[in-house]
């Protein structure tokens, strides 16, 4: 099955102010081949971690149901959260 995976993103400033966004985006820009929506989300989260590490000076890790971006001092500077997958 093929899925699109959407998520929301918030910056350090939004995290500090406990702000959330209602806007979601296509997390990886392409469909994900998976057996379930849960598996599609896991694949997308792993992809985001790989992309953050490859394309920035930040580290990234999966924490609970989100992907957090971390600086060298382990401070969270960004967060991908509210993941959902829809079969296409």
pLDDT of residue 17: 87
Instruction: Write out pLDDT tens, residues 6-55.
Output: 999 998 888 888 888 778 899 999 999 999 999 999 999 999 999 999 99
Bridge partners (DSSP) of residue 86 are: 4
> Dihedral (C-alpha) 23, 27, 31, 33: value to the nearest 10 degrees?
-120
Could you state, in order of their start, the residue ranges of all structural domains in the chain? Answer: 2-87
- Is the overall model pTM greater than 0.95, yes or no? no
β-bridge pairing 25-26 and 32-33 = unpaired
Using CA atoms, how far residue 16 sits from 8, 31, 35, 43, 52, in Å, is: 16, 32, 37, 28, 21
Among left, alpha and beta (phi > 0; psi -120 to 50; other), residue 33 is beta
Residue labelled with tokens 């406990």: 18
């Amino acid at each position: 099955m093929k899925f699109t995976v959407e998520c929301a993103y918030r910056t350090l400033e939004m995290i500090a102010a406990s702000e959330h966004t209602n806007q979601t985006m296509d997390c990886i820009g392409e469909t994900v081949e998976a057996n379930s929506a849960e598996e599609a989300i896991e694949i997308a989260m792993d992809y985001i971690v790989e992309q953050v590490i490859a394309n920035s000076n930040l580290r990234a890790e999966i924490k609970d149901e989100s992907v957090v971006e971390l600086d060298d001092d382990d401070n969270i500077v960004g967060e991908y959260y509210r993941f959902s997958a829809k079969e296409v």
